[in-house]
């Protein structure tokens, strides 16, 4: 503490802060246990994911392969095994972890910025913009890399448009509500754009491609895509994790946050930029995958309460684990691949209802 | 510590609602701001705290212009107690109170054990430490007001600015909150609060500021400002001011409205 409490010096009775210390320690312990639990689940799911699939690989082969490869050694496994584990399953596991954690973290952050637990990462039009970008690139027959780049740029562009619009209308009053409304307008416009592109697309070749992309999938994500994804991912996640305490304060509204000493404009812009980077980057490699960004933060709040100090890192772990589980179903449940976006909704919807039941309506 | 508004014009956009406002609050003073609905009390508050830009004049903290004081530093001197409202998430009471430490945290830090202990101490000081395990969205209006006061105290300010601290409270809770405010003031904290009840000025305030219907701002000792004529001019209703004796023999004034 940097100085004595000068104004209220005369405490009438001696205060016993130690009465609270026990509570404080207990709460900390609980948060740590939940975090360890999430981490354990994630690690377990990652391990299982290596073994799931039509081509059987034994656990010790996987362990040996990863270990030897890490040190640049070769071993006695077959080429097929190496392809399955290192070139098919590993990048997909990494993609699921990255996509799930990015969507959950950006969803949780948006919910704090917009003071509303029902907000999802596409609130400002990032998904709609990215969809137009990808659909347009597919229509024009561009390469996969260009499809991703186009989706990313238009995803960011849509949010920038919504932000600029709200600034020019608002001039300082009611910025948050205006921003959400402008986001809705921009989303609607871009969704109409997607429909136009689908209407123009060749129903035999491009249309199925666009439709498949819009349903979301990470089956084709390779190491190159992941390497490019890592840049916006880190630029997005790290500042949000660092600023997470301030998200608590922001969720009480602008004036209270200002009075408590937060530079609200600056903090909000940083958080919006980071969350948008995450969303646009995610959509550009995986297509539109709904529900995760809304549901995982809810699950986490249900377990540890709404303090962002715990909510953000746990959303990261929880989102990663959830997405990996869902993607395993996508590739193993039926003989053919199920689009990721469909399963997150099918599993996510009922799961969300279950959480609401548990909370007895206290959303 | 002196917070001062000097010849200020307050309003939204370019439209000034109040002009030539000059008031000041010092440590240890308890100033009550009275005035009819829509006269600009809230606007003045927002301008004073920097939520709105001034359209003219200055806000000075110890003689230094507020626009030159960083947000964080200002918040270490001036605590704000808003009217309570429902936050979007069910924060625990301790999480809400410890948010008062935000202005004292470095860069990306989160509150430490010491910050939580200080928060508990403030709940204790206000006599509501039983709330420590409660959820903020589940407690009563009076309790929420106490929690918000505790949060402002956790800021360790030298002045408190309170926006209708007794709004939406039942009679008993109004009195409890006022007693708490007076105790804080007695211990050296400066308080500026708004109220819709002139009795509150009589009960606990050292000075009153009255904004009349024609937007004149008058301030001075409560007995000089809150008079039958002034209340008629401000609110347009007839009021008689009476007196009662407290158990210690101290006279306490009170308003009795005359119904038309």
Distance CA A347, CA B36 (A): 56
**CA of A322 to nearest chain B CA: how many angstroms apart?**
23
Q: Considering only the beta carbons, identify the residue of B74, B129, B184 that sits closest to A8.
A: B184
Integer angstrom CA distances of residue A235 from A2, A131, A232 = 33, 22, 5
Distance CA A90, CA A319 (A): 18
Distance CA A138, CA A211 (A): 10
Distance CA A295, CA A112 (A): 14
Which of A341, A335, A337, A299 minimizes the C-alpha distance to A318? Answer: A299
Task: Collect all residues of chain B within an 8 Å Cβ-Cβ radius of residue A2.
Answer: 104
What does each of the 363 residues of chain A score in pLDDT, given as a tens digit? Answer: 343 334 444 444 455 557 788 888 888 888 899 899 999 999 999 999 999 988 888 888 888 888 888 888 888 888 888 888 889 999 999 999 999 999 999 999 999 998 888 888 888 999 999 999 999 999 998 988 898 999 999 999 999 999 999 888 876 667 788 888 999 999 999 999 999 999 999 888 899 989 988 888 888 888 988 999 999 999 999 999 999 999 999 999 888 999 999 999 899 999 999 999 999 999 999 988 888 999 999 889 988 889 999 999 999 999 999 999 999 999 888 888 888 888 888 887 888 788 778 766 554
Which of A141, A177, A313, A172 minimizes the C-alpha distance to A243? Answer: A313
Whether B117 sits inside 8 A of A24 (CB atoms) is yes
Whether B104 sits inside 8 A of A8 (CB atoms) is no
Q: What is the pLDDT of residue A92?
A: 94
Interface test with A, best of B44, B70, B99, B105 (most A CBs within 10 A): B99
Q: Considering only the beta carbons, identify the residue of A8, A111, A262 that sits closest to B188.
A: A8
Q: Considering only the beta carbons, identify the residue of B110, B120, B133 that sits closest to A309.
A: B110
Whether B91 sits inside 8 A of A307 (CB atoms) is yes
Q: C-alpha B112: how far from its chain's center?
A: 28
In terms of CA atoms, which chain B residue is nearest residue A246?
B102
Q: What is the pLDDT of residue B95?
A: 93
Q: What crossing angle do the helices spanning A126-139 and A175-200 adopt, rounded to 10°?
A: 20
Over residues B126-175, the pLDDT tens digits come to 989 899 989 999 999 889 999 999 999 999 999 999 999 998 888 988 99
Nearest-Å Rg of the Cα atoms of chain B is 19
Task: Collect all residues of chain B within an 8 Å Cβ-Cβ radius of residue A253.
Answer: 85
The answer to whether B14 faces chain A, any CB pair under 8 Å, is no
Q: What is the pLDDT of residue A239?
A: 96
B113-142: string of b/e by CB count within 10 Å (b at 16+)?
eebbbbbbbbbbbbebbebbeebbbebeeb
Distance CA A89, CA A66 (A): 12
Distance CA A235, CA A178 (A): 26
Which of B132, B212, B111, B42 minimizes the C-alpha distance to A260? Answer: B111
Over residues B31-65, the pLDDT tens digits come to 999 999 888 888 898 899 998 889 999 999 999 99
The answer to whether B91 faces chain A, any CB pair under 8 Å, is yes
Which of A343, A313, A337 minimizes the C-alpha distance to A325? Answer: A343
The answer to whether B11 faces chain A, any CB pair under 8 Å, is no
Interface test with B, best of A4, A7, A267, A268 (most B CBs within 10 A): A7
Which of B111, B72, B75 minimizes the C-alpha distance to B94? Answer: B111
The answer to whether B75 faces chain A, any CB pair under 8 Å, is yes
In terms of CA atoms, which chain A residue is nearest residue B138?
A362
Q: What is the pLDDT of residue A10?
A: 44
Which of A331, A342, A323, A336 minimizes the C-alpha distance to A52? Answer: A331
Q: What is the pLDDT of residue A171?
A: 66
At A111 the three-state DSSP class reads helix
Q: What is the pLDDT of residue A8?
A: 43
Bridge partners of A44, per DSSP, are none
A-to-B residue pairs, Cβ atoms closer than 8 angstroms: 131
The token pair at B170 is 């039942």
Residue A311, H or E segment: helix A308-332
**Extended strands (E) in chain A:** none
User: Is the Cβ–Cβ distance between B150 and B69 less than 8 Å?
Assistant: no
For residue B259, the tally of other CB atoms under 10 A from its CB is: 5
User: Is the Cβ–Cβ distance between B166 and B177 less than 8 Å?
Assistant: yes
Helices (H), A52-203: 59-70, 79-82, 90-113, 126-139, 144-170, 175-200
Distance CA B15, CA A1 (A): 43
Task: Collect all residues of chain B within an 8 Å Cβ-Cβ radius of residue A180.
Answer: none
User: Is the Cβ–Cβ distance between B11 and B20 less than 8 Å?
Assistant: no
The answer to whether B155 faces chain A, any CB pair under 8 Å, is yes
Q: What is the pLDDT of residue A250?
A: 92
Interface test with B, best of A110, A260, A298 (most B CBs within 10 A): A260
Q: What ipTM was estimated for this complex?
A: 0.91
User: Which residues make Cβ contacts (< 8 Å) with residue A77, sequence separation at least 6?
Assistant: A61, A64, A65
Q: What is the pLDDT of residue A173?
A: 64
Distance CA A37, CA A34 (A): 5
- Determine the Cα angle at A155 with ends A150 and A161, to 5°: 120
User: Which residues make Cβ contacts (< 8 Å) with residue B114, sequence separation at least 6?
Assistant: A1
In terms of CA atoms, which chain A residue is nearest residue B85?
A252
**CA of A243 to nearest chain B CA: how many angstroms apart?**
6
Over residues B83-101, the pLDDT tens digits come to 888 888 999 999 999 999 9
Q: What is the 3-state secondary structure (H, E, C) of chain B?
A: CEEEEEEEEEEECCEEEEEEEEEEEECCCEEEEECCCCCCHHHHHHHHHCCCCCCEEEEEECCEEHHHCCHHHHHHHEEEECCCCCCCCCCEHHHHHHHHHHHHCCCCCCCCHHHHHHHHHHHHHCCCHHHCCCEHHHCCHHHHHHHHHHHHHHCCCCEEEECCCCCCCCHHHHHHHHHHHHHHHHCCCEEEEECCCHHHHHHHCCEEEEECCCCCEEEEEHHHHCCHHHHHHHHCCCEEEEEEECCCCCEEEEEEECCC
The answer to whether B67 faces chain A, any CB pair under 8 Å, is no
Distance CA B165, CA B97 (A): 16
Q: What crossing angle do the helices spanning A18-51 and A308-332 adopt, rounded to 10°?
A: 20
Q: What is the pLDDT of residue B100?
A: 95
In terms of CA atoms, which chain B residue is nearest residue A112?
B88
User: Is the Cβ–Cβ distance between A235 and A228 less than 8 Å?
Assistant: no
Specify the pairing of strand B190-194 against strand B30-34.
parallel
Residue with tokens 């508004």: B5
Q: C-alpha A1: how far from its chain's center?
A: 37
User: Is the Cβ–Cβ distance between A150 and A136 less than 8 Å?
Assistant: yes
């Amino acid at each position: 503490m940097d100085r004595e409490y000068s104004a209220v010096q005369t405490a009438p009775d001696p205060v016993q802060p130690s009465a609270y210390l026990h509570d404080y320690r207990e709460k900390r312990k609980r948060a740590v246990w939940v975090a360890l639990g999430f981490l354990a689940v994630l690690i377990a799911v990652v391990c299982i994911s290596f073994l799931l699939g039509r081509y059987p690989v034994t656990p010790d082969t996987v362990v040996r392969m990863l270990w030897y490869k890490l040190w640049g050694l070769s071993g006695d496994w077959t080429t097929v095994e190496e392809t399955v584990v290192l070139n098919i399953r590993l990048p997909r596991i990494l993609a699921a972890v990255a996509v799930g954690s990015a969507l959950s973290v950006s969803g949780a952050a948006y919910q704090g910025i917009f003071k509303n637990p029902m907000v999802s990462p596409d609130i400002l039009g990032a998904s709609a913009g990215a969809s137009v970008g990808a659909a347009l690139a597919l229509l024009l027959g561009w390469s996969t890399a260009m499809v991703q780049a186009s989706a990313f740029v238009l995803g960011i562009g849509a949010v920038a448009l919504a932000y600029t619009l709200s600034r020019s209308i608002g001039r300082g009053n009611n910025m948050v509500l205006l921003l959400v409304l402008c986001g809705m307008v921009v989303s609607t416009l871009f969704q109409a754009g997607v429909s136009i592109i689908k209407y123009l697309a060749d129903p035999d070749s491009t249309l199925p491609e666009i439709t498949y992309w819009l349903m979301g999938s990470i089956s084709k994500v390779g190491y190159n895509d992941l390497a490019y994804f890592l840049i916006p991912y880190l630029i997005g996640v790290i500042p949000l994790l660092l600023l997470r305490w301030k998200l608590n304060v922001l969720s009480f509204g602008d004036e209270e946050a200002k009075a408590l000493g937060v530079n609200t404009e600056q903090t909000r812009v940083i958080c919006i930029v980071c969350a948008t980077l995450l969303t646009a980057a995610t959509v550009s490699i995986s297509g539109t995958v709904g529900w995760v960004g809304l549901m995982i933060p809810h699950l986490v709040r249900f377990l540890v309460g709404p303090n962002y100090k715990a909510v953000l890192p746990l959303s990261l772990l929880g989102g990663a684990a959830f997405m990996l589980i869902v993607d395993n179903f996508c590739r193993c449940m039926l003989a053919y691949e199920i689009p990721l976006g469909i399963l997150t909704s099918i599993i996510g919807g009922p799961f969300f209802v279950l959480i609401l039941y548990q909370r007895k309506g206290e959303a | 510590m002196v917070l001062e508004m000097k010849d200020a014009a307050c309003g939204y956009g370019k439209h000034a609602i109040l002009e030539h406002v000059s008031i000041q609050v010092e440590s240890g003073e308890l100033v009550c701001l009275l005035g009819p609905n829509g006269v600009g009390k809230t606007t003045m508050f927002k301008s004073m705290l920097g939520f709105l830009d001034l359209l003219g004049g200055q806000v000075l903290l110890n003689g230094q212009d507020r626009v030159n004081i960083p947000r964080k530093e200002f918040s270490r001197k001036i605590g704000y107690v808003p009217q309570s409202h429902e936050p979007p998430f069910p924060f625990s009471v301790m999480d809400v109170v410890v948010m008062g430490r935000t202005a004292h945290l470095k860069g990306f830090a989160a509150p430490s054990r010491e910050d939580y202990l200080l928060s508990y101490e403030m709940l204790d000081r206000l006599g509501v430490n039983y709330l420590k395990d409660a959820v903020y969205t589940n407690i009563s209006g009076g309790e929420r007001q106490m929690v918000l006061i505790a949060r402002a105290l956790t800021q360790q300010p030298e002045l408190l600015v309170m926006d209708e601290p007794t709004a939406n409270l039942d009679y008993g809770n109004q009195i409890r909150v006022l007693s708490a405010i007076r105790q804080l003031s007695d211990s050296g904290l400066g308080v500026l609060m708004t109220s819709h009840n002139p009795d509150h000025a009589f009960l606990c305030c050292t000075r009153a500021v009255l904004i009349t219907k024609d937007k004149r701002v008058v301030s001075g000792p409560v007995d000089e400002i809150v008079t039958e004529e002034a209340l008629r001019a401000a609110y347009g209703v007839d009021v008689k001011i009476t007196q009662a004796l407290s158990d210690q023999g101290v006279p306490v004034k009170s308003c009795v409205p005359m119904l038309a």
